[in-house]
Amino acid sequence: MTPPSLLEVHELSMRFGGLTAVDGLSFTARASEITAVIGPNGAGKTTVFNCITGFYRPTSGGIALSAPGDGTLALERMPGHLIARRARVARTFQNIRLFAGMTVLENLLVAQHNALMPSVVNGLLAVFGLAGHARAERAAIERACFWLDAVDLTARADDPAGALPYGAQRRLEIARAMCTCPVLLCLDEPAAGLNPRESDELSVLLRRIRDGAGGEPGCSILLIEHDMGVVMRISDHIVVLDHGRKISDGTPADVRADPAVIAAYLGEGDEDEVTESAA
Amino acid sequence: MSAVSAGAAALRDAFLSALVALGLFGAMIGLKTEVGPTSLVLVPRPWAVAIAVAVVFAGRLALLTWRAWRPAGTPSPRRLVTAGARAGRFVAPLLLVFAITLPAYAGRYWIDLGILVLTYVMLGWGLTIVVGLAGLLDLGYVAFYAVGAYSYALLAQNFGLGFWTCLPLAGLLAACWGLILGFPVLRLRGDYLAIVTLAFGEIIRIVLLNWVSLTNGPQGISGIPRPTLFGLTFTMDGGPGSVADFFGVEPDISQRVIFLYYVIFGLALLTNWVSLRLRRLPLGRAWEALREDEVACRALGINVTTTKLTAFAIGACFGGFAGAFFATRQAFISPESFTFMESATVLAIVVLGGLGSQLGVALAALVMIGGTELFREFAEYRMLIFGAALVVMMILRPRGLVSGRTPSVSLGSSRQISADLISQGRG
Ligand SMILES: Nc1ncnc2c1ncn2[C@@H]1O[C@H](COP(=O)(O)OP(=O)(O)OP(=O)(O)O)[C@@H](O)[C@H]1O
Ligand SMILES: [Mg+2]
């Protein structure tokens, strides 16, 4: 039985002046699955993420998210902050974007801003100790601690985020995204710069996020990654992009065997064959 | 051997500096104009030039020697930060006690100076919300100060309202102005934001200057009522309903001055309390996050526009309070009090104090406002001393007097975050 679809990208195109970064891309990400988006450098993967999370307005096409209990949301028309808040799509960035001068714990509390402060009036009432702020704050810290534990950063909760080693910063960014209670988590190259052991731990963490644990509901994942080891190990479904177009789509086994993918990754695939036959 | 060559290099460097100084000062210091019998005559002053050049030579040499001889390891920022934090724990209560007890032993002049300093402390704390926490460079803060002052003056003049009624209204009107200004402006970032806020500050002043029917133009508004103590006035004749009459003491001008002092002290403390409290609340944390990384904030579902607007409005609100106080203290206001110089002074206080540091701002206001007052006898050299002091400060402590940041929340023991990790905001 295949799970219901969560995110439907339909004929998505994104042009920057004369450059078409994404060209008529359609794919589906299903609920409680890890969907990987792979492709050579400059294939348009980050651009797809930016369209989904509202940082870019697509030139054409649609992005529909079936939100539980909220019908279908057209993400291509929503402002960026509402995509995170109402559609509950969280993301990380290819070049880590933490609040470097704030502590690890503060980073996780900022992520819960909307839960802590439903409106500006609410936020101002809190100055006078009203609006049930203290209780909300305790719950937020509890949630932060849960994710700190999940990414193994509890010991560093009071350190500034900018002082963490690279791998820890990557994990913190994932924890921060998870603190927004997302239904879809978009990760842009989370394994970049990690050593093999850290990559393995990341795989375990991502599976745990997908399946849910410790009272957390499962969360679907959209994953951009160059580390094929990680991708093949944990993905349920892979979409391959090249020059903004989808060239393959299927299970890891399907994709690995697809000649179009091999050609795209090896570059001038036919030439290689020619030299081989000549040898 | 290398010491000798280093010494020769230092000498050559110092000699070159002296040469540059000679070129610069030769005409500027070496020639003086004096009124002669028929026309201006030029009086040469070779000695003055010689002294200036010698000072430059010796100074440059001393600087180079110090650089060569100072201990190799510069003090680590972390140690400096914790040392600063430890000192801060003593300095803040001491300052507070000093401020509370000042009227008990200081004369009228000092209390007046205290009022001036406290006004700038309050303005600095208000602007810290915008510049220090939210990282929005606002060069037109004086606009809100002016709106507050004119709000009170006009409400008092036209509707006969008292200071305590008008104070919240002035804050509210200034906050509204902050919102109106914020809407178009907050799309801009960095330098552009700074320039547009600067322009808005000037526009307010020019409107005040030219809207004569409302504001009385350059003549300003006079006869602004003084504040009352629970309905009791501070009149000199000691008639019924005055403080002197109520308490059965001789009426004295210093009573009003002391009262004004405590009013601005209370207002400044209110500003401090609200901003310290906001820092620990989601709103303040969102401001700081915005300063650190706006894109990440958006990805976390924070509405960047409203968050920036609240920072602008709340900062403006305190500017408005300070303005209303200024009006009631002076009893006279005119557009001349609200020039760009005021914005620049307040911003300098905030930057000198260390972005986002409450204690730093208080110290900076004390040094800058108190200092310029004390150096009054040096007349025109005052600004020179002052500029030099600022430059030296920025070389020694580029992130302000009190840099570093205390986390707003912590699981274990809270540690200072050193300034080099903290972003200054890009608008
Ligand atoms: N804001 C932009 N303006 C202009 N061109 C852009 C913009 N963003 C991306 N591009 C271009 O779109 C193309 C796709 O970029 P994108 O960042 O999506 O690639 P990617 O698949 O994420 O690559 P990588 O694996 O290197 O991260 C590139 O040619 C890039 O230069
Ligand atoms: Mg990319």
- Report which of A16, A192, A186 is spatially closest to residue A95, judged by C-alpha positions: A192
Minimal CA separation from A48 to chain B, in Å: 15
With 60 as the cut, is the pLDDT of residue A50 above it? yes
Contact yes or no for B77/B419 (Cβ under 8 A): yes
Contact yes or no for B170/B148 (Cβ under 8 A): yes
Contact yes or no for B273/B122 (Cβ under 8 A): no
Average pLDDT of span A108-137:
83
For a pocket test of ligand 1, which of A16, A51, A56 has the largest count of ligand atoms closer than 8 A to its C-beta? Answer: A16
The answer to whether B274 faces chain A, any CB pair under 8 Å, is yes
How far, in Å, are A193, B31, B56 from residue B44 at the CA level? 69, 5, 20
Q: Where are the domains of chain B?
A: 3-68, 86-376
Strand, coil or helix: A171: helix
State the DSSP string of B238-280.
--TTBHHHHHT----HHHHHHHHHHHHHHHHHHHHHHHHHHHT
Instruction: Compute the distance between CA of residue A188 and CA of residue A78 in angstroms, rounded to an integer.
Output: 21
Question: Do β-strands A245-250 and A60-66 pair in parallel, antiparallel, or remain unpaired?
Answer: unpaired
Q: Which two tokens stand for residue A184?
A: 């879809």
The answer to whether B422 faces chain A, any CB pair under 8 Å, is yes
CB atoms within 10 A of CB A202: 23
Q: Indicate the DSSP class of residue B221.
A: E
Average pLDDT of span A65-71:
78
- Report which of B204, B147, B198 is spatially closest to residue B174, judged by C-alpha positions: B147
The answer to whether B270 faces chain A, any CB pair under 8 Å, is no
- Report which of A231, A221, A223 is spatially closest to residue A265, judged by C-alpha positions: A231
Instruction: Compute the distance between CA of residue A207 and CA of residue A209 in angstroms, rounded to an integer.
Output: 5
Q: What CATH architecture is A1-88+182-279?
A: 3-Layer(aba) Sandwich (3.40)
CATH 3.40.50.300 domain locations along chain A: 1-88+182-279
pLDDT for A2: 74
Contact yes or no for B337/B326 (Cβ under 8 A): yes
Q: Is there an atom of ligand 1 within 6 Å of A46 CB?
A: yes
For a pocket test of ligand 1, which of A13, A46, A56, A95 has the largest count of ligand atoms closer than 8 A to its C-beta? Answer: A46
Contact yes or no for B342/B198 (Cβ under 8 A): no
CA–CA–CA angle B206, B211, B215 (5° rounding): 100
Helix/strand/coil percent split, chain B, to 5: 70, 5, 25
pLDDT for B241: 66
Q: Which of A111, A120, A127 sits opposite B278 (nearest CB)?
A: A127
The answer to whether B4 faces chain A, any CB pair under 8 Å, is no
For residue A57, report the distance from its CA to the centre of ligand 2, in Å: 17
At residue B258, what is the residue type? I
Which residues on chain A are in Cβ contact (under 8 Å) with B425? Answer: none
Phi/psi for B41 (5° steps) reads -120, 150
Instruction: Compute the distance between CA of residue B347 and CA of residue B206 in angstroms, rounded to an integer.
Output: 21
- Report which of A137, A131, A63 is spatially closest to residue A105, judged by C-alpha positions: A137
Which ligand sits nearest to residue A187's alpha carbon?
Answer: 2
Judging by beta carbons within 10 Å of its beta carbon (0-12, 13-18, 19+), is residue B272 exposed, middle or buried? buried
With 50 as the cut, is the pLDDT of residue A97 above it? yes
In sequence order, which residues have a C-beta less than 8 Å from that of residue A168 and are 6 or more positions away? A153, A156
Q: Which two tokens stand for residue A26?
A: 């359609």
pLDDT for A278: 43
At residue B422, what is the residue type? I
With 60 as the cut, is the pLDDT of residue A279 above it? no
With 90 as the cut, is the pLDDT of residue A224 above it? yes
State the DSSP string of A34-86.
EEEEE-STTSSHHHHHHHHTTSS--SEEEEEEE-TTS-EEEGGGS-HHHHHHT
Which residue's alpha carbon is at the smallest distance from atom 26 of ligand 1? A41
Strand, coil or helix: A205: helix
- Report which of B208, B200, B188 is spatially closest to residue B141, judged by C-alpha positions: B200
pLDDT digits (tens), chain B, 427 positions: 566 777 888 888 888 988 988 888 888 888 888 887 888 888 888 888 888 889 989 998 888 888 777 665 555 555 555 565 666 678 888 888 888 888 888 788 888 899 999 999 999 999 999 988 888 888 889 999 999 999 999 998 888 888 888 899 999 999 999 998 888 877 777 788 888 889 988 999 999 989 888 888 888 888 887 777 776 676 666 666 666 666 666 667 777 888 889 999 999 999 999 999 999 899 999 999 999 999 999 999 999 989 999 999 999 999 999 999 999 898 888 898 898 888 888 988 888 888 778 888 998 888 888 887 777 777 677 777 777 877 887 777 777 777 778 888 888 777 777 777 877 766 5
How far, in Å, are A90, A133, A139, B123, B145 from residue A116 at the CA level? 17, 7, 9, 29, 32
For chain A, the farthest-separated pair of C-alpha atoms sits apart, in whole angstroms, at 81
Side-chain-side CA neighbours of residue B187 (13 Å): 2
The pTM score is 0.84
pLDDT for A260: 87
CB atoms within 10 A of CB B369: 21
